[in-house]
Chains A and B, each alone.
Chain A
Amino acid sequence: MKTVCLYFQVHQPFRFRRYRFFDIGNDHYYFDDYTNESILNKIAVNCYLPTNNLLLKLIRQHKGKFKVAFSITGVAIEQFKLYAPEVLESFRALAATGQVEFLAETYAHSLVALKDEDAFRQQVNMHSEMVEELFGQKPAVFRNTELIYSDHIGDMVSRMGFKAMLTEGAKHVLGWKSPNFLYCNTVNPRLKVLLKNYKLSDDIAFRFGNKEWDEWPLTSSKFANWVNQLDKKEEVVNLFMDYETFGEHQSKETGIFEFLEYLPKEILRHKSLKFATPSEVVSELQVIAPVNVPHPISWADEERDLTAWLGNEMQQEAFDKLYALLPKMNRCTDSRLLKDWNYLQCSDHFYYMCTKFFSDGDVHAYFNPYETPYEAFINYMNVLSDFSIRLNAAVPFSSEEKELANLAGILEDRDEKIKKLEEELQKLRSRKKKKPAPKTSSATEKKKTPKAAANVKSKK
């Protein structure tokens, strides 16, 4: 018996507007609402809504035999709430069928796992809570941003209480071994590891509509035959891909929806094949061996490593400068700063700074708002500069900063006080017009106001 495990990633970042040097310290709004809304709406119409409907139909049709798994980032959920609540509703409808598993990941689709364990745990918890609240299930399986995995990350995830984790079946890690078995973490064998079958996954995600491909056109029955013809001993075929594959990366015209529509039927036609969610795979199958990954891998680009986000000096610089703020962020309680902090961490910002134009340039260009990686970097650093100025004001570190924050606080208090007094004065004056007010009270009020005003002026 072989199990087919389908998993889809759903994520959209909040893209930044063109944030110029002149904006630093003046304007604290970083986002290009128009672009974000129009891109999200476009994907919702092309992909999320039709694919969700199709999946819902298929799940009902196959009565418990067809299952899928999703991971939806917190940032994507926020955009659904803002721009397309109907998408969120359709995901909830899928959740209600009981045949859909939702996985955990970092809330902001961040690379924090490479930097700090505490912050990593916080972001994962934040995401898990959101999933539980929205879809009524507590995630038990974890997928890290861009399927980034190493022995160390697996160990951290295991200690957070997850029973399994998804990652890439990278060739340079597996060597002669097959991804079509259940593996476990080397440090902490209790954590199971599901490896993506990148050949079969990419046949759908990247090659499906390519007419130059010698297997074109790919039909559901052909694909099901491929799966069926795999070695008899192999146990699981992990098909992991971006959800935007359906209708967006592969447009409707390529026939991708027809492919998906007939896929369950064609797979289930073979007696030896079935569908399962990652949790079911983990509980049903036995671990065959530990997988040894000393250096982080991911599912991106030909190299399957971190070079798409941290490959050049610009990305390194942006990444290091961002997380240099972490100690201050831990003390920050300002909700707006916390929110922007999430959006700043999205891996996409680093992806736009990638300079590997030749091998995987096309993929990097998807929904990329920048013309060049340099522009992306400059813009990001400008935003980050403004953010750290705000953070310094909110979480003063040095005595000078503290003093400044104090003074600013005093100023604000005084301003409020003046406003109040002025209002009172106005009231008294208007009353005076009607009839002379009692002399004593108005006199004291008048004395107070100019004094306070003068005080504030001198402070400024």
Chain B
Amino acid sequence: MALDDRKSQFTFVGTSPDRPDGLDKVTGRAKYGADAYAPGMLHGAILRSPHAHARIVKIDTSKAEAHKDVKAVVTRADFAKVPFKPGLEGEFWNVLENVMAGDKALYDGHAVAAVAATSALSARDALKLIDVEYEVLPHVTDVDKAMAPDAPVIREGAADYSVPEGMHPNVVRYHESGHGDVEAGFAEADLVIEDRFVTEATHQGYIEPHACLASLGNDGKGELWCTTQGHWIAQKTCAALLGIETAQLRVSASEIGGGFGGKTTVFIEPVALALSRKANRPVKIVMTRSEVFRATGPTSSASMDVKIGMKKDGTISAAQGVFRLQGGAFPGAPGDLTAMCAFAPYNLTNVKQTGYDVMSNRPKQAAYRAPGAPMAAFAVESVIDEMCNELGLDPVEVRLKNAAHEGTKASFGPRYERIGLVETLEAAKAHPHYSAPLKPGQGRGISCGFWFNHGGETSVSLALSEDGSAQLMVGTPDIGGSRASMALMAAEVLGIPYENIRVTIADTATLGYNDVSHGSRVTYASGLATIKAAHHAVEKLCERAAAKWGIPVDAVKWENGCAVPSGSNAGDFDPMPLADITADMGSTGGPISGHFEATPEGAGVSFGTHIVDAEVDPETGKTSITRYTVIQDAGKAIHPSYVEGQFQGGAAQGIGWALNEEYVYGEDGRLQNSIFLDYRVPVASDLPMIDTVIVEVPNPGHPFGVRGVGETGIVPPLAAIANAVSNAAGVRMRQLPMSPPRILAALKGNG
């Protein structure tokens, strides 16, 4: 339900007008990453390691360089030669190592060299002329095997302060938190269940592959066009990796065909810039789908042990979890976040969570909406479901009984401010879906989910035109409808129609720094900045009106798009519309703009509850999702149909992750399913209609009450679907994906 029937204190916020990018997208006019061209442009291609783990003994590029169509060849030697020096350490060094291998190829698909040629075909052909001599090393791709004492070491010295002594060098980060006494809590329980759960890596599966057009001269000045969730981080990272000044590289974000966290870093962009610098011509690189799968960030895979104690009345007396995540051949798997999110929905006296970040010979993991949280929910919510079944308790009532609320001490430490979990559970209980009868062979699953949300560095600029329209420049690429939301929030403050505001994603040369579009931060942080920038412009509009009327500025207020006297003592003047003030602004003090730059710190956490019905075919093991309802707290839905889209998108991606999607590695450590034919994402015919309920418990940290909604929607689906499938099949499913062969095996194992 899209809130159309609700009354509101807002005029524009809470309505769902047409999207401003709609016409361009349906007519093919929108320019994506691969839609840029430049005079004299070359095409780049990247040579990738066929080995999961190998020392690079020698790279001979001479034959490729001699090819008539080849204008440049680069290897690691062509990047900033400053390993581990200040400015290129930590994550910058990891990213450099990932975009172009150094001494070792660390996973199947790791870039080892690149060429730029006059055509894409010539570039790909020229890759075959590069001779790489490898010394193949033992590899490991499984998280548990990577932690075992005999596992090959991926990189010595990568572990930080947090790792306890005696652990394998592949364990690079360790997290432990919680409160109370879990052993005492388990002793109080009437039922204790401990279980092990496993999830495979999945890819964000954005339809648009990575693509860019780069130009970099020997003067250190460059231009980069790319598909990205954050062009300032692309600017900063590329500048560091190429040893140039940040401000000399201008980066523009293209329209983006999906990101979901996977486009929050760089892959091909520094390579294209290095090729361009060497060839002295613009270079375009477009990844193939296979390259996207092999060399860009999938999620972590996970192995998890969860133990929960419950009293007969459903009270959880203790909860404990161990979460092991592999994040590829680099530190960064979100074992800490997995642990911190695992029990966050519940009000627990005794809780303990442990997370491990483990390296393996796989591509560097990247965020995928609420990184790490969906796996934790799968394990925890599965155990809770099993306990409800054993104790004969209603799964929503049990969650309500234990639900966190304002003032609850969170499993990760602090007390919650105002949160909306209970409201989502009450809405689930009241929803017709929850009481609808199931057919034979069907099962129902429930799950809650939690995500932190984020603020981040944000700059917004708003400029008024003489005719009273407005241009709004934001720096957060629009990955989920944010241009519409920004225009609605600006319209609300300015009091002019939504249609009169054009929102542009500014490039790095025309606006101050902006953090990546991640962490569900855009509607929150860019929205807050938009509201403040609009208020800034309104202050100036009031000043101009006051000057025209000859009254003090504090005697003027802004109402419904007009300056009006603030009271009867201020004078008797007709309301002065915005367009009357902007019409002659050039001669009454100059252009009128509003700005805001800050790092808002009040994102407000978010919760959701999902209800899923599934039907399992016992002969084939195929699962059908027959009904799906997403209930989530949005704080305040600025553009309700976009909010619904985020909810539905999370459910759709969750269905893929739960049922079919997985990275399949062979014994040789090579990825076996690097195309969409073999890596099965859900298509329209796999999905039911996905109902939504938008709960609105305002976030105290946002002027309109917004909470981010982009990530929480991916947290409950794995668990809710697993619970539905387990209840339908009559056997607990502890491993994802629940593909037909796994379901058949589980049914067989269950007799």
Answer whether A and B are interacting partners: no
Tell me the A residues contacting B by CB distance below 8 Å.
none
Report which B residues bind A (CB closer than 8 A): none
